[in-house]
Amino acid sequence: MLNKLKELMMISQPLAAETDDDTLSNYMTREKVIVFIISFILAFCLWFIVNLSRDFTITINLPVDIGELPENMALVGDPPESASVGLTGEGWMLISLYNNPPRIIVNAEEAEVNLFDMVQQQLSTLSEVSITKVEPLGFQLDLEEKSYKRVPVEVLLDIRTSDRFGLIGTPEMSPDSVTISGAGSVIDEIDRVATKEVTLDRVNEGRELELELERPASGITVEPDRISYRFDVTEFTEGEVRIPIRIRNLPPGRAVTYNPSTVTVRYGVPIDQYSDVQNARPFLAFVDYETIEADTTGLVIPEIERMEDEYDIRLRSFQPRTVSYFRVVNDNEE
Verify cis geometry, omega within 30 degrees of 0, for the bond prior to 136.
yes
Q: Is the pLDDT of residue 225 over 90?
A: yes
Mean pLDDT rounded to a whole number for the chain: 84
* 94 confidence band (pLDDT: 50, 70, 90): confident
Q: Is the pLDDT of residue 8 over 70?
A: no
Using one digit for the tens of pLDDT, what is the confidence trace for 113-159? Answer: 888 888 888 887 777 788 889 888 888 888 888 999 999 999 999 99
DSSP state of 76: S
- Predicted TM-score of the model (pTM): 0.65
Nearest to 88 by CA among 52, 57, 126: 57
Q: Is the pLDDT of residue 195 over 90?
A: yes
DSSP letter string over 22-61? HHHHHHHHHHHHHHHHHHHHHHHHHHHHHHHTSEEEEEEE
Verify cis geometry, omega within 30 degrees of 0, for the bond prior to 102.
no
What is the model's pLDDT at position 2?
A: 45
Q: Tell which wins on pLDDT, 23 or 220.
A: 220
Burial (0-12, 13-18, 19+ Cβ within 10 Å), 235: middle
User: Cα(193)–Cα(154) distance, rounded to whole angstroms?
Assistant: 6
Which of 79-83, 159-163, 174-178, 242-246 shows the lowest per-residue confidence on average (mean pLDDT)?
A: 79-83
The mean pLDDT of 299-324, rounded to a whole number, is: 92
Which domains are seen in the chain, by residue range?
A: 55-141 (2.170.120), 145-235 (2.170.120.40), 237-329 (2.170.120.30)
What is the model's pLDDT at position 26?
A: 67
In sequence order, the β-bridge partners of residue 233 are 167
